[in-house]
Amino acid sequence: MTNNSTNYGSLAKQLVALIEDEVEPITIFSNISSLLYSNLPNVNWLGFYFIKNEELLLGPFQGQPACSHLKLESGVCGDAVTQRNLINVEDVYEYPNHIFCDSNSKSEIVLPIFVDNMIIGVLDIDAPTIHRFNKNDEANLQNIVELIEQKLTEIDLSIMTDVSINYIKK
Query: Which bin fits 144, alpha (ψ -120 to 50), beta or left (φ > 0)?
Result: alpha
Count H helices and E strands in the chain, helices first: 5, 7
Residue-level pLDDT, tens digit, the chain, 170 residues:
346 789 999 999 999 999 999 999 999 999 999 999 999 999 999 999 999 988 999 999 999 999 999 999 889 999 999 999 999 999 999 999 888 888 899 999 999 999 988 999 999 999 999 999 999 999 999 999 999 999 999 998 877 754 445 555 54
Contact 97, 52 (CB under 8 A): no
Does some domain include residue 40? yes
CATH number, domain at 72? 3.30.450.40
39 lies in which domain range? 25-169
CA 170/CA 117 separation, integer angstroms:
5
Helices (H), 40-96: 75-83
28: number of Cβ within 10 Å: 19
Query: Is residue 12 one of the residues assigned to a domain?
Result: no
Please report the pLDDT score of residue 158 as a whole number: 77
Written as one letter, the residue type at 134 is N
Domain count, the chain: 1
**SS3 (DSSP) at 59:** strand
